[in-house]
Structures are given as C-alpha cells and as structure tokens.
Amino acid sequence: MAVIDEFLAANRDYAASFDKGDLPLPPARKTAVVVCMDARIDPAKALGLQEGDAHVIRNAGGRVVEALRSLAISQQLLGTEQVAIIHHTDCGMLTFSDGDIRNKLRESLDADADHIAFLPFSDLEQSVRDDLKVYERSPIVRHDIPVRGFVYEVETGKLREVDAS
C-alpha cells in the first residue's frame, strides 16, 4: 500500500470520531509558531497544543522570511498576539549551501534555480537571531507583541531560548 493510501485509511478512522468541527477560526491561544518541517518535530506535542490553539507555520529551516505572508494574515485577520520562532539541532539546513542544491537541481532535473535563495545556515543559534531580525525589519508584521526565538533539541525534546542580541 502506498503511504498516501495509508493516510487515507487513517483519515477515515480520524474522521469517524471527529468532534472538533465547531472550533472558531482564530487560534484560541492567539499565538503563531514558525518551525522547521523536520519530521522529528511534532509541534503539538512539544508545545502542548491542541487543535485550534495556535497557527503552526512550517517550512525548511523554520525560516521567517518564508513565513511573513502567513504571519501577516495570522496577526491582521485572525488576531494572533505572540510569535515563537523555532529552529532545531541536527537540521538539514546546516548540511548544504545554495550552490549545492542549485547544482543538484541542475543535474537531476535540468532546472535553473539560481534565482532561489534556499536559506541554509552554518550557525544554528545565529540563524534564530537572523530570523528575529528579519521579523523585526518587516513592515507587514506587528512590532507591539512578544516575538521569541528558540532551538528545539531533537535529541532531548527540549526547547532552549536564544537571546536576540
């Protein structure tokens, strides 16, 4: 069975007892979380979230520049009042450069990706600081709310706050 078919079977079971269809559109805890898409991170479990609690925005590396559009919508239309930015140890974004992925795409797909910034990084804590600065400099997000950065340790499940300075 293909994995997507397994997803469909699991969804039938989930939907059979689903009882959260009346949750309000705005997140109950008025928080947005930007976090890496790494499969080893379960933001709901790691942060104690239930359906309807927070907006969880995921992308490769948990990069804020790719999340700004979603954050603006989350804040302006759905009332979020806090932001957590979470990167993590053993991140794949630490393992390549823009040149590496561009060459791989050129070789495997004959695709020119020279115009794309893939946003890898070489220093984990600095990447969190950099994303806090990206947020701070953006004109489309709120600057009157708490915005904090963290490193999630995939080895222990713990969050460690990163000082913005």
Domain CATH code at residue 65: 3.40.1050.10
The tokens describing 97, both together, are 């450069």
Amino acid 10: pLDDT: 95
Percent of the chain with pLDDT over 70: 99
Q: What is the mean pLDDT of residues 84-95?
A: 97
Q: Would the CA dihedral through 103, 109, 112, 118 be positive or negative?
A: negative
Q: What is the mean pLDDT of residues 65-88?
A: 98
**60 three-class SS:** helix
Q: Which of 69, 76, 92, 73 is nearest to 138 (CA)?
A: 69
Alpha-carbon span 158 to 151, nearest angstrom? 8
Alpha-carbon span 50 to 14, nearest angstrom? 15
Residue 22 maps to a domain:
no
Say if residue 26's pLDDT is above 80.
yes
Q: What is the mean pLDDT of residues 64-80?
A: 98
Residue 108 domain boundaries: 28-162
Q: How many domains does the chain have?
A: 1
Residue 11 maps to a domain:
no
pLDDT in tens, 35-58: 999 999 999 999 999 999 999 999
Q: What is the side-by-side strand order in the sheet with 82-88?
A: 54-59, 31-36, 82-88, 147-152, 159-162
Q: Residue 125: enclosing H or E segment and its boundaries?
A: helix 124-137
The tokens describing 18, both together, are 């689903």
Alpha-carbon span 146 to 30, nearest angstrom? 11
- Supply the pTM of this predicted model: 0.93
CA 86 → CA 69, 89, 145, 154, distances in Å?
Answer: 17, 10, 17, 12
> Residue 15 burial (CB < 10 Å; 0-12/13-18/19+)?
exposed
Residue 138 maps to a domain:
yes
Residue 114 maps to a domain:
yes
Across the chain, mean pLDDT equals: 97
Alpha-carbon span 86 to 102, nearest angstrom? 26
